[in-house]
Structure 1
Amino acid sequence: MEIREANETELQLLRMQQQVKDIAREKHKEVIGIEQTAGEEWVIVSKKEEGSTLQFMINDCTSPYRGSWDFALQVEYKDSHHLFIGDIKGEPCRGFGSICMEYLKETAWSNNCKITGDLAKRDWGHLDRLTHFYKKHSFSVFVDETEKAGQVYWTGM
């Protein structure tokens, strides 16, 4: 069993090395970190900034890089001190959202920004999970059950 785990880890590290090179070559992308999830999965964190749009992306190292991300957190600068979460895309419950959220909060903190976002009707099928996620990351969450809408807010405090 230990040999198999060592081989899997070695394979992930080799993929990671190649993926870092591949991602770094892409226009507007910057590799900003290498993290390990709670499930001990190695991932590469990259950032893409274009105009007022900022995207934090995760690529896992369990499979070869094919030019697209495995998870993304998309935000927009509303002004120089306000980041708005536009979308969270990817498979839930793998720890990727938490990793991206920490990088987003670090960016907001260093740029003296607040972070806000909306909860929309499309979120209602997973509202409990989404609410838990935001609260876990120190966001205030306001939900209007009647309108099936809501807001999230982080000030960095």
Structure 2
Amino acid sequence: MSFPRLLELESEKTQEERQDELENMEFQVFRMRENMKEISKKYEIVGIDQTKQDHWVIVFKDADDEQAQLMVNDCEGPFKGHWDSCMQLEFKDERTVHINDIKGPEDRGYGSILMNHLKDLVKEFNYQYITGDLVERDWDHLNRLTHFYEKHNFDVEVDYDHQKGEIIWYGDL
């Protein structure tokens, strides 16, 4: 969206709408501060981001030498010890991170936030590939998954006859 168009849309808002947005943002920032205190007691905070619905989220991880979880907490509510979305990862070798599963609600933008932070971490730690499998349990939402991975520059191969597939990301070339 262009800046002039954004200004035009903003000017169409009433004073009351702007005040509501400001109060919502102030509340989310307060909640973010409190949630970060709680999350940092147990997990490493990777960053903060914003969803397509303009919700602030905290991205955090729990990792050891073999596996990791990359998680999101939406600052619309308090952190109660669990994530709103999670990407379960496995370190296959010194070059490859494997996505075992992505859990959480659909169409909130959490998956894309997790994927972007995963790519940043992969680059930071000099991994070359991100891989994953499409399995039978994914078949009821295969089109959505294929779109998601292709949007994030993955090569997606699907074997429709055997209801399985593979994804691989070679880095943003």
Q: Residues 12-27 of structure 1 correspond to what in structure 2 (within 5 A)?
A: 12-26=28-42
Q: What SS does structure 2 have at the residue aligned with 1:93?
A: coil
Q: How far has the Cα of 1:7 moved from its partner? A: 1.4
Q: What SS does structure 2 have at the residue aligned with 1:88?
A: strand
Corresponding position of 2:9:
none
1:67 aligns with 2:78: no
Count of residue correspondences: 155
Note the aligned Cα RMSD (angstroms). 1.0
Corresponding position of 1:4:
20
Q: How far has the Cα of 1:2 moved from its partner? A: 2.1
CA contact (8 A) 2:97 2:127 kept: no
1:83 aligns with 2:109: no
Corresponding position of 2:13:
none
Relative to total residues, which structure has the larger strand share, 1 or 2?
1
1:11-65 CA-to-partner distances (Å, cap 9, x unmatched) read 1111100001100011xx1111111112211000101112311111000010111
CA distance in 2, matches of 1:4, 1:109: 39
1:40-98 CA-to-partner distances (Å, cap 9, x unmatched) read 11000101112311111000010111010000011100111111100000001111111
| Structure 1: gaps spanning 5 or more residues | none
Q: What SS does structure 1 have at the residue aligned with 2:40?
A: helix
Q: Which has the larger displacement, 45-54 or 79-88?
A: 45-54
Letter of the 2:18 counterpart: E
CA distance in 2, matches of 1:55, 1:112: 16
TM-score, scaled to structure 2? 0.86
Letter of the 2:49 counterpart: E
| Structure with the greater alpha carbon radius of gyration | 2
1:95 aligns with 2:99: no
Q: How far has the Cα of 1:113 moved from its partner? A: 2.5
Corresponding position of 2:11:
none
Moved over 4 A (4+): none
Report percent identity of matched pairs: 45
Q: How far has the Cα of 1:125 moved from its partner? A: 0.6
Corresponding position of 1:149:
164
1:128 aligned residue (143, 158, 161): 143
| Structure 2: gaps spanning 5 or more residues | 1-16
CA distance in 1, matches of 2:29, 2:67: 30
Q: Which has the larger displacement, 103-112 or 136-145?
A: 103-112
Q: Residues 28-39 of structure 1 correspond to what in structure 2 (within 5 A)?
A: 29-39=43-53
